[in-house]
Copies of this chain bind each other. A is one copy, B any other.
């Protein structure tokens, strides 16, 4: 198997820097849009293992990527808790039954991954079979804070003021919610590992919206709880965990202390500076600005080189964007980037 990605996460030497792309199975690909149209809805695409498998594999057929990532959504857990997920084209995800009161939150239980999220586990098993060890498969979940934001608001928000107000006014209730979500995420990730994923990633998309004290109390604490739970259950020994707290570069040192294997980075920090700050505790994944893919091939190559040079000739770098690839990128542009990373990082 191509194990560059796993070796880089273990901070072992590799022949060239591994690369995969957040949201690589996504709307910028015409073949994805075709499958998505066939599925009828985004949620059906997620919930049908054959279709989820199909779109997971599409970018690997097109590009020489070093990892596949399960096609799914971070809101599968709230959906399995009974909140009712739908995703409207161009509007974003919506939960029909947001949680607003302590009573709402006390009713929530930890979903059983093999029954309540069976479709995800079936997708993982199918993808592993169909991948034929061409590349490792990454499983993922949303962070407790990020999921709690959606569960309270019922939809996306620029400020998640309702979620923050609950945290400020009734921290005990917010912790109750975050704890049940964190236990659900840990169980879900452990089950994905049992089903066959070879690395795990937690997306803390909204952690960076928190003031520093609140980040520690309401986001970081539960990321650490998940990392520790995976260690206790012996998952973390063999399955590396990547934490990605977008917009939270002020907190890299404490994120690196959670026991994760790697940190995902957005593009607002130089890779070399991040490496200096976290030392050799963790590998780093990232971090090209997705907007670079709107520039010319020359600029894409130049920026890829800048990122590789910034990290330097050390082990422990997984190349990626600093956020998901956007639907309006030309597939050829991603091809240019991947080729550049592979050419420029090849060890003599």
Residues on B with beta carbons closer than 8 Å to the beta carbon of A292: 164, 168
Please give me the residue from chain B that is nearest to A212 by CB atom: B270
Min C-beta distance of A197 to chain B, whole Å: 29
Q: A326 → chain B, closest Cβ, in Å?
A: 7
Contact with B along A286-319 (1 / 0, CB 8 A): 0001111011101100110010000000000000
Task: Give bound CA distance, A275 to B273, whole Å.
Answer: 22
Contact flag A164-B268 (CB < 8 Å), given A211-B289, A306-B213, A326-B159 = no
Given A296-B169, A299-B168, also A160-B291 (CB < 8 A)? yes
A294 touches B165 (CB 8 A): yes
Tell me the smallest distance from the CB of A204 to a CB of chain B, in Å: 14
Whose C-beta in chain B lies nearest to the C-beta of A328? B161
CB contacts under 8 Å to B, within A159-203, are 159-162, 164-165, 168-169
| Bound-state Cα–Cα, A298 to B169, Å | 8
Given contacts A249-B250, A250-B249, contact A295 B159 (CB under 8 A): no
* Identical subunits present: 2
Shortest distance between the CB of A8 and any CB in chain B (Å): 22
In the complex, which residues of chain B have a beta carbon less than 8 angstroms from the beta carbon of A42? none
Residue in A160, A211, A296 with the greatest tally of chain B CB atoms within 10 Å: A211
- Asked if A212 and B159 sit within 8 Å, CB to CB, the answer is no
Which residue among A213, A267, A295, A298 has the maximum number of chain B CB atoms within 10 Å of its CB?
A295
CA distance A238 to B148 in the complex (A): 48
- Report the separation of the CA atoms of residues A291 and B211 in the bound assembly, to the nearest whole angstrom: 10
Question: B162 near A294 (CB under 8 angstroms)?
Answer: yes
In the complex, chain B residues whose CB is within 8 Å of the CB of A289: 164, 210-211, 214
In the assembled complex, the Cα of A326 lies from the Cα of B158 at a distance in Å of 11
Say which residue of B160, B165, B268, B294 sits within 8 Å of A295 (CB atoms).
B165
Residues of chain A touching chain B, judged by Cβ–Cβ distance below 8 Å, are 159-162, 164-165, 168-169, 208-214, 247, 249-250, 267-270, 273, 289-292, 294-296, 298-299, 302-303, 306, 326, 328
